[in-house]
A and B are shown apart, each in its own frame.
Chain A
Amino acid sequence: MSNSTHHPAPMSPVEQRVAALEALLTERGLVPEGFIGQITRRYESEIGPMNGARVVARAWLDPRYKQRLLADGTAAIAELGFGGPEGDHMVAVENTPIVHNVIVCTLCSCYPWPVLGLPPAWYKDPPYRARMVREPRALLAEMGCPLPEEVEIRVWDSSAEVRYLVLPQRPPAAEGMTEAELTALVTRDSMIGVARL
């Protein structure tokens, strides 16, 4: 025993609790074979902000698509093949030179999974949820997104069934870019509304 160097790191208390629940549920036949791996793969590689970036790039290039996106977010997003849980009732909100939109969920962590994937930790942590509805201008500046005083801020607290996607402004330098190039420009933060491009 003492000369073995292959012991895995000891489990933290929370890992022990997860392992305990996993073992008990598995023994009762409730965890389908491969289910955990399937969930992990789905959210690590199939669903994420790259989906939302495609929606934004398409809206920048195609004014009629943008119109449809702003009129019925769910349907326009479904045109690109995205939809499902936490994306069944989508509303896209458009940034302009004088309006800035930002999304939050003060009660839990509602977030548009099909287009942005699972939310980052900071979005779910208490400081963001507490402060974005109270002092958005100060918090946005603190997070690296200072806005001129004349820019109106619209905060959207996702407290019911709608999930929001911010349509950021197309950066001036993006003129003439292809859809793929534009997609690469769009960040998760810009679609939450804590950054401008």
Chain B
Amino acid sequence: MAKRDHRNARERRFWADVYSMPITRVAVQIGAFGAAVRRGKVWLVDGIHDLGGMQGLGAVDHSPAEPVFHHRWEAVARALLAVVAGAVEASGGEFRHSIERMEPGHYLTSGYYEHWLTAAATLAVEHALVTGAELEARAGGRFPLSGPVLAPPVAESGPDVGTPRFGVGDRVRVREWHPPGHTRCPRYVRGKAGTVVRLDGIYSVPDIEAHSAARRHEPTYAVRFDAAELWGDGQRSVWVHVDLWDSYLEPA
């Protein structure tokens, strides 16, 4: 028990250091962000990819039948991402974050495989497989890459969590936090209360693996939220389930 408390205290300090830093201090500490601010170009901390609930995006351009690849370049982009991710041994978290760091306007106006191309090129440059100048010279024009990593490297991954803290039926609340790095905790459930409906496996925490060679493993849960509570609009009989890591949650 004492050990558990000690772990929790240490973990609290760790997360407090990494994620509760005021954005002004983050800006000072991270040169790339400061430079971006000076250039008048600020990357979002709560990334553009976190789309759940965003309004004004219009109709879904739905077709019941469409080809796997619309153009050959899409298949090539897909394969090249696999090549780069393999060569640099990118974790799932690092790969996803390389897309999430795209300039927001570019993200919203380009399709999935252009995201993958941008991620592949960004990781290739960041891991020194190629240079941005080489890419632009070959492409004969601008080759937009994703913005810099804003989160500080994770110094200490913290201990693995082997035992689920919550069981099916438990009420939990999602921590209200806004990390400057990668996370798989969607913004639309932060601060909201829900009910655990399923315990899943113990997996590497994406927030750690995106910013470190170290890993921390935690139980994951499917948590059910009442859509009417999420959106305050009185809709009935709609449940939204989100799969969340242990440290994203606290008892409600």
- A and B interact physically: yes
Interface of B is mostly: mixed
Query: Using a CB-CB cutoff of 8 Å, which residues 33-89 of chain B contact chain A?
Result: 49-55, 57-64, 66, 68-73, 75-80, 82-84, 87
Count B-side interface residues using an 8 Å CB cutoff. 76
CB proximity of B221 to chain A, nearest CB, Å: 9
B203 contacts A17, C-beta separation under 8 Å: no
B237 within 8 A of A: yes
Stretch among A37-45, A54-62, A167-175, A177-185 lining the B interface: A37-45
The chain B residue sitting closest to A32, CB to CB, is: B83
A36 contacts B76, C-beta separation under 8 Å: yes
CB proximity of A14 to chain B, nearest CB, Å: 6
CB proximity of A10 to chain B, nearest CB, Å: 11
CB proximity of A136 to chain B, nearest CB, Å: 6
Contact of B135 among A17, A157, A159 (CB under 8 A): A17
B135 contacts A20, C-beta separation under 8 Å: yes
A1 within 8 A of B: no
B62 contacts A122, C-beta separation under 8 Å: yes
Q: Known contacts being A24-B130, A48-B68, is A125 close to B111, with CB within 8 Å? A: yes
CB proximity of A109 to chain B, nearest CB, Å: 6
A125 contacts B83, C-beta separation under 8 Å: no
A106 contacts B124, C-beta separation under 8 Å: no
CA of A190 to CA of B121, assembled, Å: 36
Interface residues of B (CB under 8 A from A): 49-55, 57-64, 66, 68-73, 75-80, 82-84, 87, 96, 99, 108, 110-112, 114, 117, 120-121, 124, 129-130, 134-135, 138-141, 143, 184-186, 188, 198, 200-201, 203, 220, 222, 227, 230-231, 235-245
Given contacts A14-B117, A21-B120, A159-B242, could you give 8 more A-B pairs where the C-beta distance is less than 8 Å?
A: A21-B135, A22-B76, A30-B87, A107-B186, A109-B112, A142-B60, A157-B186, A160-B203
